[in-house]
Amino acid sequence: MSGTDRAAVVAGLGGWVPRTVVTNDELAALLGTDDEWIRTRTGIRQRHVIAPGEATGDLAVEAGRRALESAGLVGVGALVLATSTPDRLSPATAPEVASRLGLGTVPAFDVAAVCAGFVYALAAGAGLIATGVAESVLVIGADTFSTILDPADRTTRAVFGDGAGAVVLRAGSLDQPGALLGLSLGSDGSRSDLVEIPAGGSRQRSTGLPVKPEDTFLTMRGRAVFAEAVHRMSASARETAARAGWPLEEIDRFVLHQANARIVTATAHRLALPAERFLSNIDRVGNTVAASIPLALSDGVLSGELRPGHRVVLAGFGGGLAWGSVALVWPHIVHPGIRILPAPSADQSGARK
């Protein structure tokens, strides 16, 4: 392989969701909402949430372990963890996850790009490989937004769920299936207030003023975020496809950040492509933030909707604002097992991860 052919190649995949399931009906019993509103506005039927005492790092370890097993590896040269809900404010969660996975003293760091986090972390992992820092990288997306939601906010509680997903990247060549192609990333900090937690950072702490409880929770201006998500993910997917040299209509599968089923269909419409090419598992897991793309990949492999040889574009978008896309030909991947998800209602049996 010549230096210019060197690429980061996807070689393993794993996912994990916590055991506790919250159905729409359970939320309806607590808040002023109902199953029909949530299903028709978001496509979500249930979400998984961590138990008391569990944390993002626990989910990351489970997903990471499965991705390593899938790649047939016991070690990697580096770990990148995309998360906006780290186990604590400092230090980063990644070194502890690496340690718990038995990865020794490898470089390990967090990437905070919210729902675009997984694509940003893939880019960071690809950079570590391109620069020769590592020959293999474990890239994990994990979040536990259930810990930062206002318990009384029916909208965000309906949307977000907890989970983790991971891939292993290995050094390879551009012509190999699984090679990351056409990466494109972007951000718009002038709109950082669309999705935010105002308190907890240095800006609030330096005031010395008492913290308003509502400022410690996630706030989201849903409509504006919706419009931005469709605009940015469609433009980003177009850019990545062009960089990869693929006509849009020759792309077999799109795996978008699973924020809302209507965002996915609106993006398909914007790209003038059939919605069937866009994978979706949001009905079973909700919006799992940095975990959503690898969990959707995992589900696509298990359901057979995502197959070796498919041309795939992944696209993420979220708070920041931040967005990004990457293209790859789906490789042969050994998937480490099937996780059965309890069905939320009699008409939806057999859901699994």
CB 61 to ligand UT7: min, Å: 24
Helix %, strand %, coil % for the chain, to 5? 40, 25, 35
3-state secondary structure of 46: strand
CB of 152 to ligand UT7, least distance (A): 11
Q: Which residues pair with 23 in a beta bridge?
A: 46
Can 115 be counted among the known catalytic residues?
Answer: yes
Clarify whether 335 is annotated catalytic.
Answer: no
CA distance 70 to 15: 11
Q: Report CA torsion sign: 291, 292, 295, 301.
A: negative
Given the residues 24, 260, 281, 287, the one annotated as active site: 287
- Quick one: 323 or 330, whose CB is closer to ligand UT7? 323
Write the CA distances from 58 to 16, 47, 55, 163, 327, integer angstroms: 10, 17, 6, 10, 29
CB nearer to ligand UT7: give 294 or 331.
294
Give the angle subtended at the CA of 169 by the CAs of 163 and 172, to the nearest 5°.
160
The minimum distance between CB 258 and ligand UT7, in angstroms, equals: 8
Please identify which of the residues 24, 48, 257, 281 carries the catalytic annotation. Answer: 257
Of 261 and 328, which has the nearer Cβ to ligand UT7?
A: 261
In the bound state with ligand UT7, the residue whose beta carbon lies nearer, of 115 and 164, is: 115
Active site residue 231: no
Beta partners for residue 317, in sequence order: 323
Q: For 9, what's the count of Cα atoms within 13 Å in the CB-facing half-sphere? A: 18
Residues 290/276, Cβ–Cβ less than 8 Å: no
Helix H or strand E encompassing 143? strand 136-143
Q: Which is nearer to ligand UT7, 18 or 43 (CB)?
A: 43
Instruction: Identify the active-site residue in 115, 260, 269, 335.
Output: 115
The Cα–Cα gap between 337 and 115 comes to 26
Distance CA 86, CA 126 (A): 22
Q: Residue 353 CB, nearest distance to ligand UT7 (Å)?
A: 19
φ, ψ for residue 131, nearest 5 deg: -85, 0
Min dist. Cβ of residue 288 to ligand UT7 (A): 9
Angle between helices 261-270 and 222-244 (to 10 degrees): 50
- CB-nearer residue toward ligand UT7: 158 or 295: 158
Min separation Cβ 338 and ligand UT7, Å: 26
Q: Provide the binding-site residues for ligand UT7, judged by CB under 6 A.
A: 33, 37-38, 41-42, 115, 154-155, 158-159, 195, 220, 222-223, 225-226, 229, 259-260, 263, 287, 318
The least distance separating ligand UT7 from the CB of residue 275, rounded to whole angstroms, comes to: 17
- Answer yes or no: are the C-beta atoms of 127 and 96 closer than 8 Å: no
Measured from the CB atom, the residue of 70 and 236 that comes closer to ligand UT7 is: 236
Are 84 and 53 in contact by the 8 Å Cβ rule? The answer is no
Tokens 């792309």 belong to 251
Q: For 98, how many CA atoms within 13 A lie in the half-sphere containing its CB?
A: 22
State the residue number with the nearest CB to ligand UT7: 222
Distance, in Å, from the CA atom of 24 to the CA atom of 347, rounded to the nearest integer, reads: 14
Just list the catalytic residues: 115, 257, 287
